[in-house]
Homo-oligomer: A and B are copies of this chain.
Amino acid sequence: MSKGTLYGIGVGPGDPELLTLKAVRLIQQVDVICYLTNAEDETRIVGDTHNEGHSQARTIASEFIDMRAKKAEELKIPMTYSQNRLTANGNYDFAAHKISKHLDQGKDVAFICEGDPLFFGSYAYLQERLCEKHTCISVPGICSPNAAGAAAGIPLAMQNESYAVLSGRSTDQELSLQLKQFDNLVIMKAGRSRSAILNTLKRTERFDDAVYVEYATRSNQKIVPDLTLLDDEPGPYFSLFIVSPHIGKRKWA
């Protein structure tokens, strides 16, 4: 019996219309749809309001899963987004083991994840565990910087400019350095460190170059061009700053 294929499929930032045709076709075609779910109430960690068993990727792709002619098997992988790498690695080992069982049975599996599967995506951890023994194919998705840039109407890069993406968990020193060196930057997962990032933006004189975006393309999307309106509270996990010389020109329709 020939083995199945694992597809790592990006379902984009939130708006179901931002799935690619390829993502939709594969979601409708495979034998098993696999995704991570919150193992416990993760509100504290991701600043989100969803509870145990929730999967944001499943929610984004739900109309395409539910409209399938033939119901797909669904494989839910409970995942604690622990900062502890040992725990996280154990979770991914378990997930890879479950998926490989399906692949060995000749079933094609779609692992769906938000954004792009290989851009800060959890799929990378499964691919590295499975790609030696199984065929793994990635389907790129719209990632949140591009979604946020489009939502706010801000070019992320033009001509020969440079562009960097940093985590909101970067050190202040690292952020400061790159805010001075790069024309355009996106600071992802900015919520928890929001007030620290605001201070760094001020100190590096990029405060007027920046826009804050939460939940790009989702129904609760929020775009804040005037950063003085942000209070000192932490924001949600799905939040970012775009920093760009092109923002000045647009402040603000």
A residues lining the B interface (CB < 8 Å) = 8, 10, 12, 15-22, 24-25, 116-121, 124-125, 127-128, 131-132, 136, 138-143, 146-147, 149-151, 153-167, 169-170, 174, 177-178, 181-182, 246, 249-250, 253
Subset of 14 A-B contacts with CB under 8 Å: A8-B150, A15-B22, A18-B140, A19-B20, A20-B21, A116-B150, A118-B149, A120-B158, A132-B253, A141-B146, A162-B165, A162-B166, A162-B170, A164-B182
**Bound CA span A150–B127, Å:** 11
Q: Give the distance to chain B from A15, nearest Cβ to Cβ, in Å.
A: 7
**Is A149 within 8 A of B119, CB to CB?**
yes
**Is A131 within 8 A of B164, CB to CB?**
no
Residues of B within 8 A of A140 (CB): 18, 142, 146-147, 149-150
**Is A124 within 8 A of B158, CB to CB?**
yes
Given A24-B21, A142-B141, A249-B128, verify A162-B149 contact (CB < 8 Å).
no
Residues of B within 8 A of A127 (CB): 153, 155
Further contacts, 20 of them, CB under 8 A, given A19-B20, A118-B149, A142-B142: A10-B146, A15-B22, A18-B20, A20-B21, A118-B154, A119-B149, A119-B156, A120-B157, A121-B155, A128-B249, A136-B153, A138-B149, A138-B150, A138-B151, A139-B150, A140-B142, A140-B147, A140-B149, A160-B170, A161-B167
Residues of B within 8 A of A164 (CB): 162-165, 182
Q: Give the distance to chain B from A247, nearest Cβ to Cβ, in Å.
A: 12
Q: Give the distance to chain B from A10, nearest Cβ to Cβ, in Å.
A: 8
**Is B17 within 8 A of A25, CB to CB?**
yes
Partner of A165, one of B15, B20, B141, B157: B157
Residues of B within 8 A of A18 (CB): 20-22, 140
Closest residue on chain B to residue A25 by CB atoms:
B17
Closest residue on chain B to residue A119 by CB atoms:
B156
**Bound CA span A25–B164, Å:** 31
**Bound CA span A181–B175, Å:** 12
**Bound CA span A142–B21, Å:** 12
Residues of B within 8 A of A151 (CB): 138
**Is B25 within 8 A of A20, CB to CB?**
no
Given A17-B21, A18-B21, A20-B17, verify A160-B154 contact (CB < 8 Å).
no
